[in-house]
Structure 1
Amino acid sequence: MTRTHSCLLVLACAAVTAACTTKVQADPGAGAPPDARVEPAPDSSSVKVAHPEQFATTQAQPYTSTPELAVTGVVTPDVSRNVPAVSLATGRVIEIHARLGDEVTKGQLLLKVRSTDIASAFSDYRKAAVNEQLTRTQLERARILFEKGALAAKDIEVAQSAENSAKVDVETATERLRLLGADPGNPSGVVDILAPISGIITDQQVTGGAGVQAFSGTNPFTISDMSRVWILCDVYENSLSSIRLGETADITLNAYPDKLIRGTISNIGAVLDPNIHTAKVRVEVPNPGRMMRVGMFVTATFRGRAGEPRAMVPATAILHLHDRDWVYVPQPGGLFRRVPVVGGKTLEGGMQEVLSGLAPGDRLITSALVLQNAVDQQ
């Protein structure tokens, strides 16, 4: 190779090198990433789905709701229908023919008591009967003597007075025996205690061989007429304004949930429990078939007089999620916004009451669960 050729080769290499250097300097950012663009995120309560027109919508309807208050109550006997089975004679129990919880009929034998009061009463009765017989005989003899002129008229009057007094003594002794429960025609130191009414024995304060005291504060038995009973409920003071005397209450039994009994509020306690600030509310209810037993738990539902405006929607429009109720409301641009509501009681025709969160006339998705499933699958 000649010297001329070598110079040309060097010049060509230098030209190529200069050209490459010039190109890199002309586009220094050719390999860098594009600038980042920040777009605002949609509302977290709003969702967007494909083909939003496939989800049917409905309109919240107006509904007038009657305020309700449901409280727990206990069945108790009606005290006006409680009758004690008392012993009018002091003595010792020798037989018991009934027990606590038994159903008895009027006149049924409950227990027998051996009493010295009965023995003393029979003694007085026999003495009075003998004295009455004697005074009658004396009166008859005095009348015979008076007719024969052997006796003065005043003696007849004295004999007649004595006979009248003897009759009073017999009548008094007889009445005393009857009050003690004894039969004057059947002398005995044992008295039978009978059921004064038909009903259920709801209290027993006597056992075999025990002593009973006449006219004491403790009665051997208490019988309750359970054809009507009381429901005693505890109502908090901030709910008392919705309860009024004479209004009705619906009673449902925990033991018989399919039974509904209607009662009347007969008393609202004037004194509150100082610990929990509740008042006793008494509801009088009939007891058909005596299915309500003393001590049973029931639920009493009180309803106010004035209605409150509410909204009602199909029950399928309410979605229960995370212990809350929601509905989906359509928005422009194919969006659906999830709105919290407070669901109420279930109504007829597959409808449900909405206590808050919606107003009558608001539009919402008919089936919230179907929309939620579509969102989850995206």
Structure 2
Amino acid sequence: MNRTTTYFLTACLLLTACTHKKKEATAEADPVPKVENDGKRITFTDTAMVSFFQTEPAGDSALSGELHAPARIAATVLTSQEGAQNVVLFDNPDLESSYTQLMQHMINIRHIQDINIKQRKIELDRAQDLFNHGAATGKDLLDAQAALSMEQTNLANERAAIIEHEARLKAGGFEPVALRTATPGTAYVICDIPETQISNVKEGNVCSMVLPSFPEMHINGKIENVADVIDNTTRMVKLRIRISNPGQQLKAGMFATVTFPVKPDPERSSSNMISINKSALITSQGRSYVFVKTAPSTFERKEVSTGLQIGDRVNIYKGLERSEQVVVNGVMQLKGLSFGY
């Protein structure tokens, strides 16, 4: 073997050895985390990546405080100059139109029931009696029956229209019966709150509000209704609050800020109640989860049951223990690894 060949073989061996060492080093420093137990456990091999996920211990205090929400005066009730049904003024022309048409349909129903149908029944009884005594033809009897049937159809149509207008009013946060029976000098405030806060307010709860138009006035009210529908786009639910407006200073369309005192739910409060930062909470398919650091490089996903939220804190009444290290930064990255997206 000549000297040139010897040098070439030696170089190849050295190159192969270096390449092998580089592959081993790459394998040892592989930054891809290990996901186990159907995504519930995530382990990192790169310690530099672990430092990105900040944690804080779960607290052991139940929350209480105040919930603030924007609102507006949506309707005011005035005395009718004609002495009949009260006048209701809305800030929304569509709702005002629905209420006006609703009242007209109710008048129509009373007229159809008390006058038209009663008269048609009398006429049908007379036609039947005359027909039985040979003083009326079969056509006379059929005409009387058709007239009664027509009025009954009109009644059904009026009732269907009432259902339509009642649905529109309810979607706007109003109860038609409450509007019709409201005392003059009453005003209604509509307030939108997030779906996540719906458990913190109940019908009958008191609240206070301040209006930019009258900043010196502090008005007390009562939650009269929590809407049955949540807006599919904004995920907000409407509250209707009744307040007194005897001097009619408050006008439909005025803005307000409503404050609700919020306390922990006694049915959920216990010695195990703890709280976490809301940034730690994630949801998937209607369930709530957090990630807990259980070892220097390991994070575990835990399902939790949430309660009251005040500001940036959320009560947890099931699924966590005190002082567990809950991830508050990097949560979305862990969620992607855990659920595979």
Tell me the TM-score normalised to structure 2 length: 0.34
Q: Which has the higher helix share?
A: 2
- Structure showing greater radius of gyration is 1
